[in-house]
Amino acid sequence: MISASGLTKVYGGKTAVDHADFTVRPGVVTGFLGPNGAGKSTAMRLILGLDRATSGSVTVNGRLYRDLPAPLREVGALLEAKAWHGGRSAYNHLRFLARTNGIPNRRVREVLDIVGLHDVAAKRARGYSLGMGQRLGIAAALLGDPAILMFDEPVNGLDPEGILWIRRLMQSLAAEGRTVFVSSHLMSEMALTAGHLIVIGRGRILADTPMADFIPASHVRVRSPDLAALGRAVAAENWRARTAEEALLVYGATPADVGDLAYRHGIRIHELSPVHPSLEEAFMRLTADSVEFHGGG
Amino acid sequence: MVLRKATFAGAVAGEWIKIWTVRSTLWTMFSTVVVTVGLSSLLALAYTLSYDRLGFRARLAFDPVAYGLAGLNFGVITLGVLGVLAVSTEFSSGLMRTSLSAVPRRSRLLAAKAVVLAVIALAVGLISSFAAFFASQAIFSMRRLGVGIGDPEVLRAVTGGGLYLTLIALISLGAGAIVRHTAGAITSVLGVLFVAPIFGVFLPEDWGRTVQKFLPPAAGSAILTTRETPVTLPPWQGFGVFAGYTALVLLVAFVLFRRRDV
């Protein structure tokens, strides 16, 4: 469990994280979503104590990260694509990390197998592809078999096969009851992996909610010259509905249900379409004011 | 799995693995020995061959130990580079973030680095110093100019050579942690050690000479001498001054390393 309270980081007058309160819980993949520059990476560095909070605090299992007796056994973090020395092999990189936290050497072999780097483990890391580098970072995160895992933009630069692999890995880690905290600016990726969402924009936490609550429910959009009559018919069926821009949005019914209903009441219909709101739309509505840079045009 | 704690010993063991698993370590160690022994031998050879043409004063100033260890001044460069690289490459590669997630106590990590570096630099420094001594004395002996390791002050000077190079590596580690860029840190270390003495030369006679004695390279290399000279402090006094500089740089390094974001 990761808990931040009033977490604030100011870099030279610019507030990167602004009084953030959030909790990351076990057993579910928690997505950390926000536009580039929103403060995701800074928040993750604050969790690990790599950056010092200007005010407020963040704890891991109730302690500051630096006070954990064996940090790699409690938290595994993939911070960025490259956090290793190119002159060292994957095997030696993991071996020194294991040694610092009293992790047995056989665990190094295990994680190399898990991430599929076994064959290149003896080669110097500077020759690795982006995907291999990412796998090395994940191997390091898994090394201490930690109950908490953090991944900062894990799918960046990966090929489809690698993306699928990471997605499955994160879900299986969460299914094992671990805390999985993953940041991304890619909404489609989040929609596929995360069960819980923490949305950040300009350093502020904008939402902290289950994914299902964040995305509005699917509904039917229907237009008719006799909207009032249609509204009464829908209400009589006990379907939830609201009007929006000359149309009626009907919840809890399929387009066929609504079409049949209109037919029975002899109401003409000009449009009848299913609407599946996406995470993108929900996100855009929420962060419309908090995007750091808007594209031109 | 038993929850074993991350300890200082673990941090040292990790740093030990780390420093041996990049090629630059072996290369700098190898070149330190080659450069110090090679240059000491060449300088000894040059002195021995030109001995007949030297005047009385030059012969009087001859310190067979200090002359024989002159090559150590070049080992300063290679061990300085080793010390800087031990920390600066972690910043340039991004490895520092990984290292600090494994060892989040900053002072513990830097102290572990210092311990490992000191052990390696001391071993390489002693090997270089003793090898340079025996090689140069063998050459001086062609003209009966050499001294033995058992002669007064000699063992102190030769051992001191190893200690001096160890301090060089540590002060460079401090510079690397402060500057955090390889090129910048190496430039500042070599600048202070090789360029600063030039300013002493331009200061007025009396106190220019005094200042010069207290400048890092002169103070540090005083330990290599076995004769009193007007341009250096007494051996241990000079070494103490240089150890003070090293301690100061390391202190600043620790304070900054604890405070700064990575």
Question: Across the interface, do B94 and A71 touch by the CB < 8 Å criterion?
Answer: no
Mean pLDDT of chain A: 91
CATH number for domain A2-214, candidates 3.40.50.300, 3.90.550.10, 2.102.10.10, 3.40.50.10420: 3.40.50.300
DSSP state of A67: G
Query: Which positions ≥6 away from B111 have C-beta within 8 Å?
Result: B8, B11
Query: Rounded distance, CA B222 to CA B199, Å?
Result: 19
Structure ipTM: 0.91
Confidence of residue A36 (pLDDT cuts 50, 70, 90): confident
Distance, CA of A292 to CA of B70 (rounded, Å): 60
Strand order in the sheet with A14-24: A14-24, A2-11, A55-60
pLDDT (tens digit, 9 = 90+) per residue, A47-95?
999 999 999 999 999 999 999 999 999 999 998 757 899 999 999 999 9
B contacts of A96 (beta carbons < 8 Å): 14-15, 17-18, 21
Domain ranges, ordered by start, for chain A? 2-214, 219-276
- Tell me which residues of chain A, numbers 82 to 101, contact chain B at a CB-CB cutoff of 8 Å: 82-89, 92-93, 95-97, 99-101
Residue A290 confidence (pLDDT) = 54
**DSSP symbols for B6-63:** P-HHHHHHHHHHHHHTSHHHHHHHHHHHHHHHHHHHHHHHHHHHTGGG--HHHHHT--
Interchain contact, A50 vs B100, CB within 8 Å: yes
pLDDT digits (tens, 9 = 90+) for B139-157: 999 999 999 999 999 999 9
Is residue A243 over pLDDT 60? Answer: yes
Residue A209, min C-alpha distance to chain B (Å): 28
Looking at this protein, which amino acid is placed at residue A90?
Answer: A
Q: In the CATH hierarchy, which fold is given to the domain comprising A219-276?
A: Alpha-Beta Plaits (3.30.70)
CA of A278 to nearest chain B CA: how many angstroms apart? 36
Closest CA to B23 of B76, B114, B85: B85
Give the three-state DSSP class for A11. Answer: strand
User: B88 exposed, middle or buried (CB, 10 Å; 0-12, 13-18, 19+)?
Assistant: buried
Position B239, amino acid: F
Spatial CA neighbour of B88 closest among B214, B174, B11 = B174
For residue A190, what is the enclosing H or E element?
Answer: helix A187-193
Pairing of strands A148-152, A75-78: parallel
B11 vs A: CB within 8 A:
yes
In chain B, whose CA is at the least distance from the CA of A136?
Answer: B98
